[in-house]
Chains A and B, each alone.
Chain A
Amino acid sequence: MAEEESQFEEFEQIDFLRDRHVRFFQRTLQVLPERYASLETTRLTIIFFALSGLDVLDALDVIDRNTMIEWIYSLQVLPTEDQVNLSRCGFRGSSHIGIPYSTKGPGVLHPYDSGHVAMTYTGLCSLLILGDDLSRVNKQACLAGLRALQLEDGSFYAVPEGSENDIRFIYCAASICYMLDDWSGMDIQKAIEYIRGSLSYDNGFGQGAGRESHGGWTYCAIASLCLMGRLEEALSQRELDRIRRWCIMRQQSGFQGRPNKPVDTCYSFWVGATLELLDVFQYTNFDKNRSFILSTQDRLVGGFAKWPDSHPDPLHAYLGLCGLSLIGEPSLRKVHPALNITQRAFQHVQQLQQTWRDSTGSCSRQH
């Protein structure tokens, strides 16, 4: 009897506060104070964290889907009448450039307006999570914008005017091609070469060749290869086993991002999902992982932080939930480990792509 009671106490302290997290994401979607100014150009990624977070919580009913969908479409960089800006198309992170609000084309010519690969990726994800059919996405323009971002070495810039280039944006590109069911957006072979080149001597992946292996970049590498359907073509069984080892060694309680660094909630997803894609997540310690993630839960405002007794933020709140979903936390929806959306949203993607393929088929029959 006494043992049962103390187990119950333990659960009370580390119980999962679903409603707090729903409210955390609701507030995120409304207004943020000025100290969040550094998130301005990436607001669309914040929407993705909140929407996908609510989806994982099975709480999308708390938001107004149509309002969200309209706002996301207002961020699409559409081709101008003469299509001179085609290689700059995609989605913006926010309205910070000052383009007047519009959800339809043609695009407005502006010397500095262009899409950002991570915003195109999270924009498409967010629309799909909301059940949109992408009928207002100019897919060819998005793909043209994407092609313009790939370098000779296979990596991607974030924006056509130039930026840093690395493996993160390969993942964004692969996700975009996957969702649009069109791989003309990237040179897969070159991307695979860059990914292989990023494999470190210690069998994790760095952000590029020679760089330190890291849980986030390892996720980008493996998830990209999975989305491309090239995992076993790109990496030998021996390499995969070594990568499994590097990943599984990241568990200390929760997971760390690099050897000899502190554990951080977000790696419960980045490394956890990689292990899941490599079929060995089942061999990790679920209890210790869960305990750590919940120790970073903010019991007052909801959300999760990177460490215990730290401030929660949308990224860690979302990835903390995904980390819990991977270990089968009841009341959370399952997450597709490569695309990083719920299985429910993923099924919507698959159904949508089937209707695209069916309609293409019926068109060709008419000719």
Chain B
Amino acid sequence: NKYNTRFISTDKIPPVFLCFRDRKEWADLEPVPQDDGPNPVVKIAYSEKFSDVYDYFRALLKNDERSERAFALTSEAIELNAANYTVWHYRRVLLQALSKDLREEMRYITAIIEEQPKNYQVWHHRRMVVEWLNDPSEELEFIADILSQDAKNYHAWQHRQWVIQEYKLWDDELDFVENLLEEDVRNNSAWNQRHFVISHTSGFSDAMEREIQYCLYQIKKAPNNESAWNYLKGILQPLGLSAQPGLLERVLELKQTHCSPYLLAFLFDCYEDALENSKENVAEEEQQKTLKKALEICQLLAQEDTIRKEYWLFLGRSLKNKHGSSDPSDEPLADDPEPSVPVSEQQEMS
């Protein structure tokens, strides 16, 4: 490509970068400098090379030039600043206007994302090219590669969800998720993907028992894993935590050997759900027993999950206010501050 001649060289002189303003093929174009007026703010101090490339970019943009040299220049501009969304947009205009080879563009964008995987513009560009080609066949493998470098890259997961949903590539995704969870059972993105796949394929009704088993299995391996507990609660929540027969007992059993703040919070939520959704024939006595258990859990949480001590006590108070009996012999909660003193004031004084 004759517009890519960056370097002039002869046998005797070493190659020198040739500014656009010194290239014959660009002599027809007047460069356009950036104009920040008399008092620029947050001015970035660009080198001569940087300004040169972008002065010519601005010139092309002004004339909306559709040419090979313009396309080549966008590559230079992207190399200097891949976050400039106008350059990417202009490049897409040129890709279409010049009927450029989109497969080659896929190779180009692949390389750039590998270098800068947390940039919004590069992922958006890739999505556009995949849409134009209507070909997602490279995507799952490419995204898997990016995730192998950073298993929680939000852009990568988003792109993956888009591809799978758009092109109905659900078949192997649950296996993919399980492999990632084998590697790191605490990968919250993988747990989220698990939910995404199942909710869009089999749904959770038939799969519920299997998913509960899966969660409890993972929790036994790594008890202090918020992601697993969030998933368990999340899949049960729509039906009600207290609606699942035998679950409370299984969790109470786990409490003996695999306790965690997440387990205790789950128990609290089960008791709260029972109180909220109690049938009319549940005796007041039964309700108060459940409430008592819930309040004990709050006390335990206030001791075990100390960073959230005030929150757990607040939850206990709220629950008691909502479901407590009007029996004057009820003991107040230990460490129960007067509700009229704002907790924030207490903290500031210490």
Return the CB mask of A257-270 against B: 1 if under 8 Å, else 0: 01111000000000
Q: Which residues of A are found within 8 Å of B152, using beta-carbon distances?
A: 258, 261
Q: Which residues of B are found within 8 Å of A281, using beta-carbon distances?
A: 344
A100 within 8 A of B: yes
What is the bound-complex CA distance between A288 and B189, given in angstroms?
A: 27
Q: Which residues of B are found within 8 Å of A100, using beta-carbon distances?
A: 35
Q: Which residues of A are found within 8 Å of B343, using beta-carbon distances?
A: 282-283
What is the bound-complex CA distance between A99 and B42, given in angstroms?
A: 18
Of the candidate stretches A28-36, A317-325, A333-341, the one touching chain B is A28-36
Most buried by B among A39, A42, A112, A280: A112
* A40 B347 Cβ-Cβ under 8 A: no
Return the CB mask of A163-195 against B: 1 if under 8 Å, else 0: 110000000000000000000000000000000
Q: Which residues of A are found within 8 Å of B38, using beta-carbon distances?
A: 101
* A212 B154 Cβ-Cβ under 8 A: yes
What is the bound-complex CA distance between A115 and B343, given in angstroms?
A: 44
Q: Which residues of A are found within 8 Å of B199, using beta-carbon distances?
A: 201, 210
* B46 A34 Cβ-Cβ under 8 A: yes
Q: Whole-angstrom distance from the CB of B83 to the nearest CB of chain A?
A: 4
Chain A residues 271-330 with CB under 8 Å of chain B are: 280-288, 328
Q: Which residues of B are found within 8 Å of A110, using beta-carbon distances?
A: 61-62
Q: Which residues of B are found within 8 Å of A112, using beta-carbon distances?
A: 61, 64, 86, 89-90
Most buried by A among B33, B37, B54, B234: B37
What is the bound-complex CA distance between A210 and B196, given in angstroms?
A: 6
* B187 A98 Cβ-Cβ under 8 A: no
Q: How many residues of B contact A (CB 8 A)?
A: 73
Q: Which residues of A are found within 8 Å of B196, using beta-carbon distances?
A: 210
* A37 B44 Cβ-Cβ under 8 A: yes
A249 within 8 A of B: yes
Interface of A is mostly: loop
Chain A residues 1-54 with CB under 8 Å of chain B are: 28-34, 36-43, 46-47, 50
Of the candidate stretches B4-12, B242-250, B307-315, the one touching chain A is B307-315
A343 within 8 A of B: no
A354 within 8 A of B: no
A161 within 8 A of B: yes
Of the candidate stretches A63-71, A226-234, A355-363, the one touching chain B is A63-71
What is the bound-complex CA distance between A64 and B40, given in angstroms?
A: 12
Of the residues A64, A68, A260, contact of B186 by C-beta under 8 Å: A260
Of the residues A31, A97, A248, contact of B61 by C-beta under 8 Å: A97
Q: Which residues of B are found within 8 Å of A47, using beta-carbon distances?
A: 41-42
A211 within 8 A of B: yes
Q: Whole-angstrom distance from the CB of B125 to the nearest CB of chain A?
A: 10
Chain B residues 186-201 with CB under 8 Å of chain A are: 186-189, 192, 195-196, 199-200
A74 within 8 A of B: yes
Q: Which residues of B are found within 8 Å of A200, using beta-carbon distances?
A: 192, 195, 234
Q: Whole-angstrom distance from the CB of A83 to the nearest CB of chain B?
A: 20
Q: Whole-angstrom distance from the CB of A329 to the nearest CB of chain B?
A: 10
* B44 A248 Cβ-Cβ under 8 A: no
Q: Whole-angstrom distance from the CB of B74 to the nearest CB of chain A?
A: 12
Q: Whole-angstrom distance from the CB of A219 to the nearest CB of chain B?
A: 15
* A260 B307 Cβ-Cβ under 8 A: no
What is the bound-complex CA distance between A36 and B50, given in angstroms?
A: 12
Q: Whole-angstrom distance from the CB of A40 to the nearest CB of chain B?
A: 6
Q: Whole-angstrom distance from the CB of B62 to the nearest CB of chain A?
A: 6
A140 within 8 A of B: no
* B344 A201 Cβ-Cβ under 8 A: no
What is the bound-complex CA distance between A213 and B189, given in angstroms?
A: 9
* B34 A287 Cβ-Cβ under 8 A: no
Q: Which residues of B are found within 8 Å of A164, using beta-carbon distances?
A: 120, 123-124
A365 within 8 A of B: no
What is the bound-complex CA distance between A260 and B80, given in angstroms?
A: 34
Q: Which residues of A are found within 8 Å of B32, using beta-carbon distances?
A: 98
* B192 A211 Cβ-Cβ under 8 A: yes
Q: Which residues of B are found within 8 Å of A43, using beta-carbon distances?
A: 41-42, 44
Of the residues B39, B59, B120, B233, contact of A70 by C-beta under 8 Å: B39
* A252 B86 Cβ-Cβ under 8 A: no
Known A-B contacts A34-B50, A71-B40, A202-B231; A212 and B189 likewise in contact (beta carbons under 8 Å):
yes
Most buried by A among B35, B165, B307: B307
A88 within 8 A of B: no
Q: Which residues of B are found within 8 Å of A67, using beta-carbon distances?
A: 39, 41
Given contacts A96-B54, A248-B308, 16 further A-B contacts (CB under 8 A): A32-B42, A39-B83, A40-B83, A67-B41, A95-B36, A96-B84, A98-B33, A98-B61, A111-B61, A111-B62, A158-B85, A212-B157, A213-B192, A259-B188, A260-B227, A282-B310
Shortest 6 CB-CB contacts between residues of A and residues of B: A201-B234, A98-B58, A101-B37, A283-B311, A202-B230, A283-B310
Which A residues contact B (CB, under 8 angstroms)?
Answer: 28-34, 36-43, 46-47, 50, 64, 67-68, 70-72, 74, 94-101, 103, 110-112, 158-159, 161-164, 200-203, 206-208, 210-214, 242, 245, 248-249, 251-253, 258-261, 280-288, 328
Which B residues contact A (CB, under 8 angstroms)?
Answer: 32-47, 50, 54, 58-59, 61-62, 64, 80-86, 89-90, 120, 123-124, 152, 154, 157-158, 161, 165, 186-189, 192, 195-196, 199-200, 225-227, 230-231, 233-235, 237, 265, 306-311, 314, 342-344, 347-348, 350
A-B contacts, 29 listed (Cβ < 8 Å): A29-B42, A34-B45, A37-B44, A38-B82, A41-B84, A50-B42, A64-B39, A70-B39, A96-B34, A96-B54, A97-B61, A98-B32, A98-B35, A100-B35, A101-B35, A111-B64, A112-B64, A202-B233, A210-B161, A210-B165, A213-B192, A251-B307, A252-B307, A258-B188, A259-B227, A260-B188, A280-B314, A282-B310, A283-B310
